[in-house]
Amino acid sequence: MEWGMRNRLAQLIQPDGRALFLPIDHGYFQGPTRKLEQPGRTLEPLLPYADAVMLTRGVLRSSVDPTRSKPIILRVSGGTSVIGDLSNEGIITSIKEAIRLNASAVSLSIFVGSEHEHQTLLNLSRLVDEAEDYGIPVMAVTAVGKELERREARYLALCCRIAAELGARIVKTYYCPDFERVVQGCPVPVVIAGGPKVDTEYEVFEFVHDGLQKGAIGVNLGRNIWQNDHPVAMIRALRAIIHDNATPEEAQEIYNALKQAES
Ligand code: 5RP
């Protein structure tokens, strides 16, 4: 592997082999998502605890201080909104722009099983061809929107394996029952997204912990962090699971203690 590719992957995946990515890209199809209306404000207190931030170029330029940042995973697919068909994505940002913005990786969604499956898989293949020329890893995002209704190992394993076969260096997917089948069938590192916010913190701690035991290297977790009433406590508790091997119970204790300090 070339030096540049290895260096960028090392910026994302920490020496312990784990990763905590913080996505704030939701506005690219959802508009001003709850608690992400002002992305700079949402991000600021969380930034010290993230290993990398996933976002679009518009939010990066407008809302992130270039002198005080973390490795960037630049979302480069889009062109749709919640009003239309989410799967009809194209590539919205060039590799030249990713280099100009000093991105450590680029990310793109694939929509396996959707009307635009073919188009989004070709998007991924083309992006990999271009990004690899410059040593930039591609993170594939599987199963957003309607496709997320199929949160089962058979479907997610299919998505992840296809993404890896087409050249993604990291794959983002969802936790599901029999999650080990998803990870075992995917020859590149897998990170877990959260999806819509769940009712309790403990549920998040449990699925992240279990996902790691089953082979995921970390998370790309958004709403379940920054839509929580105590987002700093939440990200720090998750960090303890990911980087310090805390149990869900220990994470809950960390969360409870830190939330007092936050309120
Ligand atoms: C949206 C994305 C998000 O980054 C991803 O879904 C992770 O965020 P969350 O944990 O809120 O689901 O790719 O297209």
What domains, with CATH codes, occur in the chain? 3-227 (3.20.20.70)
- SS3 assignment, position 171: strand
Contacts of 33 (CB under 8 A, 6+ apart): 26, 27, 223
Given the CA of residue 107, which atom of ligand 1 is nearest to it? 13
What is the spatial distance between Cα 84 and Cα 101, in angstroms, rounded to a whole number?
29
| Structure confidence by residue, pLDDT tens digits, 244-261 | 999 999 999 999 999 988
Strand boundaries in 64-217, DSSP class E: 72-75, 77-78, 90-91, 105-110, 138-142, 170-174, 190-193
- For residue 109 the two structure tokens come to 């969604």
Residue of 21, 89, 141 with the most ligand 1 atoms within 8 Å of its CB, for mutation: 141
Contacts of 128 (CB under 8 A, 6+ apart): 138, 166, 167, 168
Confirm whether 146 is a catalytic residue: no
**What's at 252, amino acid-wise?**
Q
| Structure confidence by residue, pLDDT tens digits, 29-62 | 999 999 999 999 999 999 999 999 999 999 999 9
User: What was the pLDDT predicted at 150?
Assistant: 67
Pairing of strands 52-55, 19-23: parallel
What is the spatial distance between Cα 89 and Cα 142, in angstroms, rounded to a whole number?
13
Question: Which amino acid residue places its CA nearest to atom 12 of ligand 1?
Answer: 195
Burial class (CB in 10 A: 0-12, 13-18, 19+), 148: middle
Question: Which is the catalytic residue, given 70, 96, 146, 172?
Answer: 172
User: What was the pLDDT predicted at 195?
Assistant: 79
User: What was the pLDDT predicted at 53?
Assistant: 98
Burial class (CB in 10 A: 0-12, 13-18, 19+), 134: middle
Residue of 20, 26, 198 with the most ligand 1 atoms within 8 Å of its CB, for mutation: 26
Whole-structure pTM value = 0.96
Per-residue pLDDT of the chain (263 residues; tens, 9 = 90+): 799 999 999 999 999 999 999 999 999 999 999 999 999 999 999 999 999 999 999 999 999 999 989 999 999 999 999 999 999 999 999 999 999 999 999 999 999 999 999 999 999 999 999 999 999 999 999 976 555 566 899 999 999 999 999 999 999 999 999 999 999 999 999 999 987 788 899 999 999 999 999 999 999 999 999 999 999 999 999 999 999 999 999 999 999 999 988 77
